[in-house]
Copies of this chain bind each other. A is one copy, B any other.
């Protein structure tokens, strides 16, 4: 068993240094390596320059015992990863026969001619484990060299991920010894700000012991990530569970879900459980609320749909909001929100109706400033509307509105 204590990730590609793309490969790999108990100490990005790639490799070889390189394996002259490692290590390269066959086959199917450059993709190091790339042409490579494990993966995230999932993680597990691993869980909260949550959990957050407690702002609320280190997954999970109980004993009233759950998916589950259906009438949110629910598989049994009544005429023609009501109160009003919620509920025969009307900006409308938003809620028992004054740009006001709507529905269903 090889003990790997210091990992680093190197991305090769000038497009990263020009800011044309972001190094999402590094964060994805890091998260997965942490789960395997491997400590990543450095990320580096270096451009398509042989000298600088060589130097970066040499530096990594000195300080790390696991180096994962993404990018630079393609067919063009700019793809220098193989050349740089060959120069640094003096390992010989040869054309890998199965890859050559695959390449020839690929070009035959594409009905195009394979240039000399393309053969480069079949070059592998003499001692390498060659990893078949099911998503592309260039294979991945694993080379054990002078006590350091070198892993070479393509830069295209889809190819990189599939090679890592299919070959690399299992190789590292199979060959590596380790002292401890890292496990995380995420708690999700709604209806509470980050600062309030931080104040309530201040001592837990700043203690920074094992597990650590870290707040983060998510799209639909605030999250707390709890991360434990331990020798086994069971021990780490136990540490996390204990901390979870501690956190929930203080702020459990705002908690709605775990890990990948969202406010929308939680609401959908609650609607299904209670056998309730929902219909929406959206003005400034323009379909975003319905989309939030319908994007989840299985939404069809509880989400009937609704109306996007963006223009005034749509509010009158589709939703039957009386012309006189709009003349008197305007479309951005409690009265209009209430009528929209009530009417969409009735039109669709749903149990809950929700409506959104307001000023998304930029600029004011009907004499009301951007950020003025009314959300109407209609059930079989009652109809009412909530007024909000939101801040931010057009996109932010619209998505905050959707989120406020989700919070209102969640509260309604929880009560």
On A, residues with C-beta under 8 Å from B are 11, 15-24, 26-34, 40-47, 49, 52, 56, 59, 76-78, 182, 206, 208, 214, 216, 225, 227, 277, 279-280, 282-291, 293-295, 297, 299-300, 303-311, 313-314, 317-318, 347-349, 361-362, 394-395, 398
- Flag if B46 contacts A45 (CB, 8 Å): no
Bound: A20/B317 CA distance, A = 48
Kindly list chain B residues whose C-beta atoms are within 8 Å of the C-beta of A285.
Answer: 291
- Flag if B32 contacts A206 (CB, 8 Å): no
- Flag if A286 contacts B297 (CB, 8 Å): no
Shortest CB distance A410–B (Å): 19
Kindly list chain B residues whose C-beta atoms are within 8 Å of the C-beta of A291.
Answer: 285-288, 291
Kindly list chain B residues whose C-beta atoms are within 8 Å of the C-beta of A289.
Answer: 287
- Flag if B290 contacts A305 (CB, 8 Å): no
Bound: A299/B182 CA distance, A = 48
Kindly list chain B residues whose C-beta atoms are within 8 Å of the C-beta of A32.
Answer: 19
- Flag if B307 contacts A318 (CB, 8 Å): yes
Bound: A47/B45 CA distance, A = 16
- Flag if A305 contacts B318 (CB, 8 Å): yes
Nearest residue in B to A363 (C-beta to C-beta)? B297
Q: Which among B24, B308, B348 is the interface contact of A22 at CB below 8 angstroms?
A: B24
- Flag if A395 contacts B40 (CB, 8 Å): no
Bound: A287/B305 CA distance, A = 9
Kindly list chain B residues whose C-beta atoms are within 8 Å of the C-beta of A49.
Answer: 41
Kindly list chain B residues whose C-beta atoms are within 8 Å of the C-beta of A21.
Answer: 27
24 A-B residue contacts at CB 8 Å?
A16-B26, A16-B43, A18-B31, A18-B34, A19-B30, A19-B31, A22-B22, A26-B45, A42-B52, A44-B45, A76-B208, A77-B208, A280-B308, A291-B291, A295-B395, A297-B362, A297-B394, A299-B310, A305-B308, A305-B318, A306-B307, A311-B348, A317-B347, A317-B348
Nearest residue in B to A31 (C-beta to C-beta)? B19
Kindly list chain B residues whose C-beta atoms are within 8 Å of the C-beta of A307.
Answer: 305-308, 318
Shortest CB distance A345–B (Å): 12
- How many copies, total? 2
Shortest CB distance A326–B (Å): 15
Bound: A293/B305 CA distance, A = 18
Bound: A237/B78 CA distance, A = 25
Which of A30, A59, A284, A299 gathers most chain B CB within 10 Å?
A30
Bound: A34/B291 CA distance, A = 38
Nearest residue in B to A45 (C-beta to C-beta)? B43
Kindly list chain B residues whose C-beta atoms are within 8 Å of the C-beta of A30.
Answer: 16-19
Which of A15, A17, A31, A47 gathers most chain B CB within 10 Å?
A17
Known: A286-B305, A291-B287, A307-B305. A28 touches B23 (CB 8 A): no
Q: Which among B27, B44, B300 is the interface contact of A44 at CB below 8 angstroms?
A: B44
- Flag if B311 contacts A308 (CB, 8 Å): no
Nearest residue in B to A18 (C-beta to C-beta)? B34
Nearest residue in B to A298 (C-beta to C-beta)? B362
- Flag if A349 contacts B288 (CB, 8 Å): no
Nearest residue in B to A307 (C-beta to C-beta)? B307
